[in-house]
Structure 1
Amino acid sequence: MNLTAIVIIAIICWTIIKLTNRDKKEPKQVNQTNQENSDLQQKLIVMNERIAVLEAIVTDEKYVLKREFDNLSRDKAA
């Protein structure tokens, strides 16, 4: 056997090993992806709640009235 044939056989064996090991790693990646998805869903829920609170504050009549008073006082200062 010459050196070229040995190299080709080694590459083929290495490829087969990599392909068979990849199948063993996929469930771990799927579990990690599922965990990341649930983490992101939790963050999204928290962010939606915070946005709802901010919207309630901004649309509150007292907030709008205070902002108008602040704008009026700035106009007088200028």
Structure 2
Amino acid sequence: MSGYVAAIAIVAIIGWVIVEITNAGRKKRSDMSDKEKAEMQKEIANLKSRIEVLEKIVIDEKYDLKKQFKDLENDKVA
């Protein structure tokens, strides 16, 4: 029975920590100035565009073919 109590206590503590972290994040965002928010939004937009480029590279068939050739070369026994 004490195992269940310990498990419930651990889950409650983890839940409390998650709530505190979430609240701290909200407070930090509300304390940001408009300039900081604009800079953050600009940085997020830049990161999204970089991710799109990376997705295009990885999805490209040529990338996969080059990777397969490289894997074959690495598997060779010298």
TM-score tier after normalising by the smaller chain length: 0.5 to 0.7
Superposition deviation, residue 62 in structure 1: 0.1
Alignment gaps of 5+ in structure 2: 1-30
Q: Which residue of 2 aligns with 1:19?
A: none
**Which structure has the larger Rg over C-alpha atoms?**
1
**Runs (4+) of structure 1 moved beyond 6 Å?**
none
**What is the deviation of 1:71?**
0.2
For residues 77 and 34 of structure 1, what CA distance do their matches in structure 2 show?
60
Tell me what 1:68 maps to: 68
Deviation at 1:77, TM superposition (A): 3.7
| Residue identity opposite 1:39 in structure 2 | E
TM score, norm. by length of structure 1: 0.57
Amino acid at match of 2:56: A
Aligned residues: 48
Identity of aligned residues (%): 42
5+ residue gaps, structure 1, are: 1-29
TM-score when scaled to structure 2? Answer: 0.57
